[in-house]
Amino acid sequence: MRRIWLLALNDLKLTARDRPAFIWLIAMPIAMMWFFGNIGGGGGSGTPTISLSLVNQDDGWLSTALIEELTDESIEIREIDPSQPDDDRPRIRTLVIPEGFTDGALSGDQQTLRLEKESDSNAQYGLAAEVHITRAIVRTLGRLIEMHEAGALESASAGGAAALQRFRDMGNRQDLVTLSVSTAGRGQPVPGGRAQSVPGIMTFIVLMMTLIYGGVFLTNEKLSGMLQRQAQLPMTRRAVFLGKLLGRLLMAGGQVLLLVLAGRFLFGVSWGNSPLGLALILTSFTVAIGAMSTLLGAVLRTPAQASSVGWIGSMVMAALGGCWWPGELMPDWMQTASLALPTAWAMRGFHSLISFGHGLEEVLLPSLALLAFGAVFTGLGARFLRFER
């Protein structure tokens, strides 16, 4: 077992000596994650946070109550002091509460809230902000009507603090009616932004680099006679093959780990709520790709062939497997055909965790499929690898 590890570590050393390796293995995929994530609308997984600047020109209790209704985890509110008109901090969208809002609303006069949006702001986030503001207004009006019917608004002119506290108490009551929302039928949202680009680019780059580097190194060793000399060591040829396979697993696994950490801490992508499920799909993907790389080096004769087949093959598998765009956008027949590729199963597992919030049970099938690919590729690689030139 020790000699198997020595052979595997030797492959890692060869990779580390290649100066462009850092750019291809780490820097380039991170740059691509950022680029394609922003092209696709940015954002990570889960509920996006809406930015909203707020200018409150009113000093009454009702504007304070409305602001509290607007505040929750889905919106980031930044209050702007109306007495400082020279505040030139960027405002993507700004809600303006007019002067005299509280007195006017309590007197029955119609009030107008103004939402100002930059021309280049995200249209979808703008619509989400409008919906959020409308919901806050409806809740506020509902409580005002209830307070009016209970005679609690008469004290508002004498002291707004009591009215505001009554308003807050009403908001803290237990809901009489709750709404339960669940997915019906087969419909589900299409992944986008960084929730698509981060796992997609990771899958594509790890596949491409493992195929190219692993295939090129193995064909080089065959041509130079290194593989034949290693076969003369006091170890079986099966052990030599396992050492080559382990080296590719370590290379792919190390790259996967670094890119997962980059996705989490550089791009804010949550990899789901199931660490065991994530570990299972990542390990299964690494096994499938490492075994495929070993098979590629076993059946091809020259480094040029390995480089070309690795490059073209990874591009095709990435496109058909949903790495560059969500697989849900492809025709049904193409989605079915893509299941013959490990990339499609890997992306299915990643999206189950990242975009749809599923747990371990939903990644079992993709993981088993990837392990099956790994077993087939390993068997074929051991069958076709020739140690003699």
Digit-coded pLDDT (tens) for 174-227 = 877 888 876 555 445 566 677 788 898 889 989 998 898 888 888 888 888 877
**DSSP-assigned beta bridge partners for residue 225:** none
Going by pLDDT thresholds of 50, 70 and 90, the confidence category of residue 157 is: low
Contacts of 171 (CB under 8 A, 6+ apart): 68, 69, 139, 143
Question: Higher confidence at residue 374 or residue 264?
Answer: 374
pLDDT of residue 45: 46
The kind and range of the H/E element at 243 are: helix 237-265
286 pLDDT exceeds 50?
Answer: yes
CA–CA dist 247, 7 (Å, integer): 7
CA–CA dist 322, 203 (Å, integer): 10
Going by pLDDT thresholds of 50, 70 and 90, the confidence category of residue 378 is: very high
CA–CA dist 11, 310 (Å, integer): 18
Closest C-alpha among 250, 209, 214, 198 to residue 24: 209
Question: Higher confidence at residue 172 or residue 7?
Answer: 172
Tell me the two tokens of residue 71: 């505040």
Measure CA of the first residue to CA of the last residue in the chain; give whole Å: 26
Closest C-alpha among 92, 137, 138, 132 to residue 116: 92
Pairing of strands 50-56, 93-97: parallel
CA–CA dist 323, 280 (Å, integer): 19
Residues 277, 363 contacting (CB under 8 angstroms): yes
pLDDT of residue 332: 86
DSSP states of 361-383 as a string? HHHHHHHHHHHHHHHHHHHHHHH
User: 80-109 pLDDT, tens per residue?
Assistant: 876 665 556 667 889 999 999 998 988 889
Closest C-alpha among 164, 220, 221, 190 to residue 45: 190
Give all domains of the chain, ordered by start, each with its CATH number.
2-44+193-384 (no CATH), 50-171 (3.40.1710)
18-27, 49-58, 69-78, 356-365 — which is least confidently predicted? 18-27
